[in-house]
Chain A
Amino acid sequence: MKKKIGVYICHCGGNISDYVDIQKVKDAVKDEANVYLLKNTMFACSDSSQKEMVEDIQTGQLDAIVVASCSPKLHVPTFRAVAERGGLNPYNYVQVNIREQSSWAHSDNKMGATEKAILLVKAGIARASESEALIPMKIPATNAVAVIGAGVGGMRSAIALADMGSEVYLIEKEEMVGGHTADMEALFPTGIRGKELVGNLSSEIRKRGNIKLFTHAELIEKKGGIGNFDIKVRVGEETLPLHIGAFVVNTGFDSYEPKKGEYRYGELENVITLPAFKKLIDTSEGELVYQGRTIKKIAYIYCVGSRQDQMGDNKYCSRYCCTAAIHSSLEVKRKFRNITNLHFNRGIRAYGKQELLYNESSTNGDIYLQFALDSIPQIEQKGNKTIVKVKDILTAGKIVSTEADLVVLVTGMVPRRNDDLVSLLKIPIGRDHFFNEIHMKLRPVETVIDGVFIAGTCQAPKNILETINSSMAAAAKANSILTKGEISLDPTLAMVNPAACILCDKCFSACVFDAIAETEYEGRNVAKIIESNCKGCGMCTPVCPTDAIELAGFTNAQVEGMIDALSES
């Protein structure tokens, strides 16, 4: 049957058109079967372009549209909504990615990028020609959320969710809530003590009947999908089954533990980490004494475990440590007399208002020395004296050598190993080994697993304010989805033609989501799809020897049409 397809080629400003010859693409695809309308646009996603498409669909009575632009990850929802506003079924929309897959991938070969774009667009037109209207299945959603981790972030997520009307299960692996913050004293910039902040959050949690806190608890099983997860939580000796709609994962960070010998850590007893130093400040009174030695002169060495070279795993900046070290250095001066602070840093990153603290420290007489990664401070022990030596950038590379009673290694954050949770929830991990969001700006608290949200320092190093903001943002996102009471499932699901099925078992072993079961059909057993488990991944379709399985939205006719178009050249 002849179809009317509207095809739009996006310049993406110059992101595509600087490399892909848009006119050539247009010329090459204009005579493809079913192409009724062909346009190029500066930004297909801009409001005016969207309006134009809606009008085109209505006036041209289009059967399908194709937009050749960026990754479907970015704009499939945008253009499905355009199709819908024009009166089309959203699944009669096909996105072709000529940015990530053509212009960006082949920016060194404009001709090749153009040729590839042409083929991709032709394939997209072929897919749209065979596209069918699909109706998303609506299922009831449970407005209950499991928050994993009861540090300050998880606690704040729980409170926000409860206030917005969600049932909350707050699951903490340790005996006590509060995570790292519970061990901290005065916090920057308000001066509130870590214990006090945790105490406040705890009492807010106790006030709310719709938060159930489980300590010494762990998630051990998960089934189902967004809106309806069936989970099991081990609490002490017991196992508790729960029904929830979403997860907010807020499992926090670990402090970097220096290797033995790194800045003489583990070799000299007066080389300690920043968290240990903070404890020392808190527990000392009158005079600052460590291992029997009175401490007057303190050397802080920054970026330990962060911003490492090729030899280290941690390329990233840990964000919070510059300010944390300066804050501690001010605290120690406030609490004890005659303290000298020497900061061996790699460029102080006291961003935003934290600059005021850095100012205060400099005005107080703290000394800042700066080193580069290729000439890090050397620590030597001479008799009972510890000497720190550095080539100081700030004095034109002078070698500065000074005694120190205590060396504080300003250690950063490292991703917490959470292998069981990661494999249970299938949380994606980034290059830096922290959990990865879908898109830092568009969808900063969502993961590619629907219904699994992330917040706080499990995602990246953050300070407390940033942790709280992201924890509340994750709560808002989860609640805004679950509060409607129902969720549409993507109709891109596998379908079994029972007449053709020979129950060979191949699809069962291909499916990783336990979405295939047996059923009876005309007196014999055949495969069937459990729709709430099916993710539409398509693993089952190619293994079926009798072509009895089709994937809606990627039917055999569609995929074969795409292959034909791609193999034309």
Chain B
Amino acid sequence: MNTDYDVLVIGAGIAGEESALKLADMGFRVLVIEKEPSIGGKMILLSKVFPTLDCAACITTPKVSETARHPNITLLTLTEAESIVKENNELFSVSLKKHPRYVNEQDCTGCQECERACPAIVEDQFQFNLVARKAVYIPFSIANPRIALIDIENCMLCGLCEQKCPSGCIDFTQKEEIIKVKVKAVIVATGFKLFDPTLIPRYGYGRFKNVITSMQMERELAPTRPFNNVLRPSDGKTPGNIAYIFCTGSRDQTCGNAICSQVCCMYSTKQAQLLMGALPMADITLYYINIRAFGKGFDEFYMQAKDMGANYVKGKVASVTEKENGNLVLRYEDIATGKVSEQEHDLVVLSVGLLANPAIVDVFKNETLETDTSHYIHQPDLLQNPALTSIKGVFVAGTATAPMDIPDTILSAGAAAAETSGYLKLQS
């Protein structure tokens, strides 16, 4: 059977990269598509990773560059799958939509002259809105590809970038492209969404400036951090008394997510350790229901945080109120005393959970990609063949199946590669 590629991998976070690399190493031709302008998913935006405290960039960039460079991998960024139709001959006809970058990918050198020239200032989504970026921008410093794109929604079409670009690569005439390919198999590695904490209004996110999400704190702690220090947003003050609210949007049927997000206990514990390093004078209090430190080295890591002085308080936070000076008062059930208590903090971090990202199911036109009760991709033969989905020839990897941490994601992606390779060998 003649096809353009053996496998289409949808999503180039760590799961998609790992699956693609394993299959490419086995000699299969792999097409990887990523809807964002850079590959690397969420991991590339993290600071350090638990429980080893390796910097996330150091761990993820080797796989990012290998994916971008592998001779058997073709990579398309800013590209989404629009429709996938299974043919009678078991092949998949795929229609891809490649969004215009308005920058010629081959010619851009990443010099950032355009960024300096651009007068349009908008919130930087890759810094989780902590700072601003320009309308023409390189997503982040370790992006791959590290080239510019134009956010046309916010562009004033002033043409200054075009004038300043030394390689003449700005191209406003670029159009959306539809690319049609045929593949033998598909791997869904579309990852997860972060819980939107405005859905829990009593925590004040979006209203109180000093209530931030854990992802924003992740950025404040990252080597490519926006402020070069940990600050609180309202006045730029260095926080001295930071609170974490665990299970924000997890284990909570009132906001539609009954399951545990599996990573928040540990990433919060990690952030607490990093904060104690960055701000030795700061008090860190973590309000939790249960600490789920279950993986290899995790419980030891949790004990280490306690030994370093992190203050773990068992109790669910009911509400957050703001004082005039921007400080926040947490009202919570203190399990240790059995009483409702209040405590003041100058920065509150919401440990937001992971949610399923099931938009991909609509892309499959003539077969149904089933989801489970938590809206993750359903694994019909979970304990024997976990990479199988409800569609023959479509496999699933990583957090598209359930919340999971980085090591589990890598293993799940390896399993998807094994399953896909076996399937392709059987087909040929």
Contact = CB atoms under 8 A, between A and B. Distances in A.
Contacts of A461: 296
Given A12-B58, A47-B146, A349-B294, A441 B418 contact: no
Interface stretch (A112-120, A214-222, A280-288, A352-360): A352-360
B404 interface: yes
A469 B294 CA distance: 17
B419 A316 contact: no
B77 interface: no
A472 B421 CA distance: 11
B276 interface: no
Contact of A468 (B22, B27, B384, B402): B384
Contacts of B293: 317, 349
B59 interface: yes
Interface stretch (A289-297, A334-342, A392-400): A392-400
Contact of A476 (B376, B402, B418, B426): B418
B421 A201 contact: no
Contacts of B296: 316, 430, 432, 434, 440, 459-461
Interface residues of B, number: 79
B54 interface: yes
A43 interface: yes
A75 to B, nearest CB: 7
Interface string A432-460: 10100001111011000000000000011
The interface centre, meaning the residue of A13, A14, A348, A442 with most chain B CB atoms within 10 A of its CB, is A13
Interface string B293-335: 1111111100100000000001000000000000000000001
Contacts of A13: 55, 57, 222-224
A352 B383 contact: no
A484 B72 CA distance: 14
Given A317-B299, A396-B338, A468-B384, A160 B292 contact: no
Contacts of A190: 382-383
A146 interface: no
Contacts of B418: 160, 163-164, 472-473, 475-476, 479
B262 interface: yes
The interface centre, meaning the residue of A350, A440, A444 with most chain B CB atoms within 10 A of its CB, is A440
Interface stretch (B61-69, B173-181, B236-244): B61-69
A164 B30 CA distance: 16
Contacts of A479: 26, 418, 421
Contacts of A12: 55, 58, 223
Contacts of A475: 418
Contact of A349 (B62, B290, B386, B402): B290
The interface centre, meaning the residue of B144, B294, B382, B415 with most chain A CB atoms within 10 A of its CB, is B294
B52 interface: yes
Contacts of B260: 350-355
Contacts of B117: none
B285 interface: no
Interface string A73-94: 0110110000000000000000
A396 B422 contact: no
Contacts of B383: 187, 190, 192, 197, 464-465, 468
B223 A163 contact: no
Interface in A34-50: 42-43, 45-48, 50
A430 B293 CA distance: 18
A74 B58 contact: yes
A164 B425 contact: yes
A396 B336 contact: yes
Interface in A165-221: 165, 187, 189-190, 192, 197, 200-201
A249 interface: no
Given A192-B383, A316-B296, A45 B223 contact: no
Interface residues of A, number: 80
B408 A359 contact: no
A474 interface: yes
A174 B222 CA distance: 50
Nearest to A468: B386
Given A189-B382, A356-B259, A396-B335, A445 B414 contact: yes
A353 B402 contact: yes
A46 B299 contact: no
B414 to A, nearest CB: 3
A232 interface: no
B258 A359 contact: yes
Nearest to B110: A48
Contacts of B299: 307, 315-317
B421 A476 contact: yes
Interface in A309-324: 315-317, 319
B351 to A, nearest CB: 14
B22 A347 contact: no
B415 A473 contact: yes
B295 A472 contact: no
A163 B22 contact: no
A516 interface: no
B422 A160 contact: yes
Given A349-B292, A359-B258, A441-B49, A395 B338 contact: yes
A163 B52 contact: no
B136 interface: no
A470 interface: yes
Contacts of A74: 58, 62
B269 interface: no
B251 interface: yes
B403 interface: yes
Nearest to B314: A393
A12 B48 CA distance: 11
B168 interface: no
B337 interface: yes
B322 to A, nearest CB: 29
Interface string A342-372: 0000011111111110010000000000000
Contacts of A480: 22, 25-26, 417
Contact of A352 (B110, B262, B297, B423): B262
A386 interface: no
Contact of B384 (A201, A351, A359, A470): A201
B411 interface: yes
A163 B422 contact: yes
A116 B408 CA distance: 37
A483 B425 CA distance: 12
A352 B353 CA distance: 11
A192 B291 CA distance: 29
A477 B421 CA distance: 12
B290 A163 contact: no
A466 interface: yes
B377 interface: no
Given A317-B293, A356-B259, A444-B411, 4 more contacts: A45-B61, A46-B65, A356-B373, A440-B296
20 contacts: A13-B55, A13-B57, A42-B224, A47-B64, A50-B65, A189-B382, A190-B382, A316-B300, A347-B292, A349-B290, A351-B262, A352-B403, A393-B314, A397-B336, A440-B296, A461-B296, A473-B418, A476-B26, A480-B25, A484-B27
When A and B form their complex, which 5 residue pairs have the shortest distance between CB atoms, in order from nearest? A13-B223, A473-B414, A163-B422, A396-B338, A472-B415
Interface of A: 11-15, 42-43, 45-48, 50, 70, 74-75, 77-78, 156, 160, 163-165, 187, 189-190, 192, 197, 200-201, 307, 315-317, 319, 347-356, 359, 393-397, 430, 432, 434, 439-442, 444-445, 459-461, 464-466, 468-477, 479-481, 483-484
